[in-house]
Structure 1
C-alpha cells in the first residue's frame, strides 16, 4: 500500500491539496489540479478516488481503463503525453492524471453556459455526457449521475473545517439511537435528524414511502449520528464520501457499512455494532433491525463519519 501524505492548505476546494492521496501521485494531482478554474487538486483527487481508488491498472466491466477510467474512444481523443516520453499511455498515471484534468476542463468549457454550479455540471458531464447536461439544464435526473456528483463533491470537501472522525463516545451514542428505533417501519425516503418521518415515492421496485412514517437506510444513519452531534449527508453514497474509510482490521462499532458496486453506486448503509452485525433499515416491507454484514453480496467498504459534515450535500 502506498504511503499516504497530506498537503497543507486552508481551503480544501481551493488550489491546495488537502486530501490524503498516495505519495507518488501528489505532485501530479497538485499540478494537474490547477489546469483551469473549475478543476482543483481536491476535486481531481476525489474523482480519481471515485473512479479507481488510485489503481492505475483498474479496468471496469464496460471497458474503462486506468486510474482515471477512460473509455478507449475518449482516450484516443483526449489522452495526452503528460510525461513527455512520446507515448499516450492510458495505463500510465503520468499521462492519465493530466489527461483527466484536461478533459474535465474541456467539458467545463463545453457546458459553461448551462445554469447552476459549474463544477457539478462539469462532473455530471464527465459521467453522463455534455449533451445530457445541456438537455436538462444542469445535472440530469439520472440516479447514477446524481450520486456521482454528490459523492465527488462531498469527498472533495470532506476535510473542510478540520473535522475529526467520530469518537468512541459519539459512536456509542449513534448505536444507542439506532437501537431505540429497532422495529420502526422502512419508509423509502423516510427519516431525518429529528427521527422517523414519512418518505417519498418511489423505490426502484415502485414502493412509496409517502404513507409510511419510518426510515430508509441512510435516513436511519443520518438520525443516529445527528444524536451524536454529527450531521451526515442524506444519501448513502454521499455519506460514504463524507466519511473516512477504514481498513477491515480497524473496523469498530459505530462505523458505517456500505454496499454497492462502486462509490457512486452505493445503495445501502448500516451501522456496525460488532461481531459481524449491524443495525439497518433493509428495504420496503421490513423494519429497522439487526442484520449480518453479509446480508448483501456487494459489501463495498466501511467508513467512519467525520464531525465536519455540517450541511447536506
Structure 2
C-alpha cells in the first residue's frame, strides 16, 4: 500500500506542479521507487514459461538496453526467452528514444512519460509485465494486450474464451464508452509488438498442463505424449478456416485430424464427424489424449468445435485465438461444452 500511496502522491504532484514533479522524478526517481517498494526484491513465484526461443528485430537504440532488460527479467522470475519479447515491447513503446523507454510510468499511477530514468522504466515495466503474465497464466498474447489495456482485460477476455482481436475490440469499445473517450488503448497492440519479434508465441501457457504418458492405459492405443508434442509445435500459430496441414495452417478439426494421424489414428475431417467416430465417455472418465467437443460456437451442426484433452481441465485446440491451451470447463468453452470421446 505504501507504494501505491506514494505513487498517487507523486502523480498528484505531477498533475498540478509538473515542473516540480519532473525534477523530483529525474533526480530522485530511483530513491523514490526503492523506498516505495516498486524496485523491490525478485518475485517469489516466477511467471509460468510459455514461450520458446525467439529473436528481437529492434533498432540499435533498443538493443543497447538488452543487458538491463535481461537483468530485470531474471530479477522478476522471467526466463531469458522473454527478453526478446520485452525488447520488442520497448521498440513499440518508445523505440528507445524516450527516457521512459518501457512507457511504464502509468503502471504505477504516474503521468505518461513521468519516469525520467531508463533503468527505472525498465525495472518498473518488466516487473509489471511479470505480474500481468502471472495473472494471465502465462498467456503471452493476453499479457501483451493487458500491458496496454490494464489487468482488467485479463478476466474480461478469459470469460470470453481468452485473447482474441474480437475481445480486444469489444473491451476497448466498452472502456471508451465508460470513460467518454474516443478510443481506449491500442486494439492492435499484440500485432504491433510481434512485428518486432521473430519466433512462435503461445497464446496460452502450457505450464501444469502437460499430458501424462498413457500408451494404452485407459483404453487408448497410441502414445499420448507424441500426439501432444506434435500439436504443441504449432502453439501460437494463427487459426485458419479449412486448414488441415502444416502447409495450410489449422482449424480445430484439422489440427486433430493431422496430428492424431501422425500416431496412426485416422479421424474424419470435421468436428461433428469426429464426434460421431469416437467412443463416447463421461467427462469424469477423461484422460489426456481424449477429445472434447463443443456446441453452439457458430451456426451449423450440433458439434462445432473440438480439442484434445491434456489434463488438469485443459485442452490444446485451434480457435480464433490461434493454436493454444484453454480451459475446458470454465469460461467460454465451459459454457459450450458438449461431450467427450476417445479416439482409437
When the two structures are superposed, what TM-score results if normalisation uses the length of structure 2? 0.33
When the two structures are superposed, what TM-score results if normalisation uses the length of structure 1? 0.37
Q: Which has the larger radius of gyration?
A: 2
